[in-house]
Copies of this chain bind each other. A is one copy, B any other.
């Protein structure tokens, strides 16, 4: 058993011992979803004030709305959420490379079979060079896609990993 696996089992014992929320409903009680980054420096529940059971939380590299679209549509259309907050963050890894950089690193590290799989899956790493612009573009994408109705409230934010603050962009 690895350190990580042991850590999950230890956390499970501790968390379940004091667990009192076993009867929450499947649909989010407060009917909203947070889309944020997978970054290790973000604790969405604490930083964004999410009570257990209240909101969907989608996380991927860079808080990409395009990459998150499948989950967003499921949240809105099948589980009744009516509001989206897109929260990217300072110091994001997605600001540090281009799609070509990432392709070349994967091809070099993992070889031609991996490169072929990247191509066959048409994988786009979706990096961005400008943080606030990327927030605005993702909000605009969600406002323009026909898969999110116009009745859904959409806002865009930046979380500062240096200060713990979350500030509104759009």
Contacts and interface: CB of A to CB of B under 8 A. Distances in A.
A46 B39 CA distance: 16
Given A21-B41, A58-B59, A79-B93, A125 B74 contact: yes
A11 B85 contact: no
A123 B70 contact: yes
Nearest to A97: B78
A59 B22 CA distance: 21
Contact of A2 (B8, B21, B153): B153
The size class of the interface chain A forms with chain B is 35 or more
A79 B62 CA distance: 13
Contact of A49 (B11, B29, B121): B11
B106 A147 contact: yes
Given A48-B11, A60-B71, A71-B61, A114 B146 contact: yes
Given A4-B30, A40-B53, A93 B67 contact: no
Interface in A39-79: 39-41, 43, 45-49, 52-61, 67-71, 73-75, 77-79
B52 A43 contact: yes
B164 A26 contact: no
Contacts of A123: 69-70, 73, 147
A22 B164 contact: yes
Given A41-B21, A75-B38, A147 B118 contact: yes
22 contacts: A2-B83, A8-B49, A8-B85, A9-B166, A12-B166, A12-B167, A15-B165, A16-B160, A19-B165, A22-B164, A23-B162, A28-B40, A38-B71, A45-B45, A60-B70, A73-B106, A73-B123, A74-B93, A77-B110, A109-B149, A113-B146, A114-B147
